[in-house]
Amino acid sequence: MASGSEQYGIAALWEQSDYVGKGVFVILGVMSLWSWWVMINKWLDQRSLRKVADEAEKSFWSSGSLQEGLGKLKGKLNPFRDIAQEGMKALDHHRRQTQDVASNIDLADFVETNVQKQSDMLASYLQNGMVVLASVGATAPFVGLFGTVWGIYNALIAISIAGQASLDKVAGPIGEALIMTAIGLFVAVPAVLAFNALTRANKQLMERVGYFSHDVQAALVAGARPAASAAPRK
């Protein structure tokens, strides 16, 4: 006779589940792995971007010129370098145009438009994967609940066919089916917490990028960085 731990539990639920029940298991497993993959990659990306931001705020503005500062911004993914580079290209392009053409667009507006494109591209990049976390956090509990309802439905049918409706015969299968709801919550909770934490970190990064962008625009257009304009640390 099987012991209680062998008779009930996740392994027993998997063995006794039909294709629908096993499908729910697989879906929740995929959702969990996918969300953890996104969480880890987003955390690594944000850590890298924070280091890049620290380096940009430290070395770029301490350089003798914008061109020299641009050379100090390294890394494969460096939005601060892209912003400064795009701003300098916009300034050079505007100056090289004929006076009639250049006068159609104000220098400050032209530089701001080109710099803003880089900021928008970074904002879009930071949002990659966030929809996965939001979707998993919103749907995983309902997927688990569906598995529980399906498990209870099958358990009640089996009990009805067997003609045994004692408490021990009912409580076991139904309690086993409730594991599905617990798994759904186990998948959803980390995704929701990670989504909130990553959203806050994205906001902080974009604030630092915004401060840097405005300073670059001021330096290119007015020839000097605004005093005391460094981004506040959080």
Q: Report yes or no: 219 and 66 within 8 Å, Cβ to Cβ.
A: yes
Helical H segments across 97-226, by residue range: 99-102, 107-126, 130-162, 167-177, 179-221
8 A C-beta contact, residue 133 and residue 158: no
Per-residue pLDDT band at 22 (split at 50, 70, 90):
confident
Q: For the residues 8-20, what does the mean pLDDT come to?
A: 68
- DSSP letters along 197-224, please? HHHHHHHHHHHHHHHHHHHHHHHHHTSS
**C-alpha atoms less than 13 angstroms from C-alpha of 101 in its C-beta half-sphere:** 6
Residues 39, 42, 48, 53, Cα dihedral to 10°: -120
At 144, the amino acid letter reads G
Q: What digits encode the pLDDT tens for the residues 139-179?
A: 999 999 998 888 788 777 777 776 666 555 566 667 667 88
Q: Residue 60 — pLDDT band, cuts 50, 70, 90?
A: confident
CA separation for the pair 108, 17 (Å, rounded): 66
C-alpha neighbours within 13 Å on the C-beta side of residue 129 = 20
pTM score of the predicted model: 0.76
* Residue in this structure with the two tokens 């803003």, named with its chain if needed: 116
- 204: burial class by Cβ within 10 Å (0-12, 13-18, 19+)? middle
Cα torsion angle, 114, 115, 116, 119, sign: positive
Give me 32's structure tokens: 């969990």
Quick: pLDDT tens for 62-79: 777 777 777 777 777 788
Q: pLDDT tens digits for 106-136?
A: 777 777 787 888 888 888 888 888 999 999 9
Let me know the angle formed at the C-alpha of 196 by 190 and 200, rounded to the nearest 5 degrees: 140
Please report, to the nearest 10 degrees, the dihedral formed by the alpha carbons of residues 122, 123, 128, 131 taken in order: 180
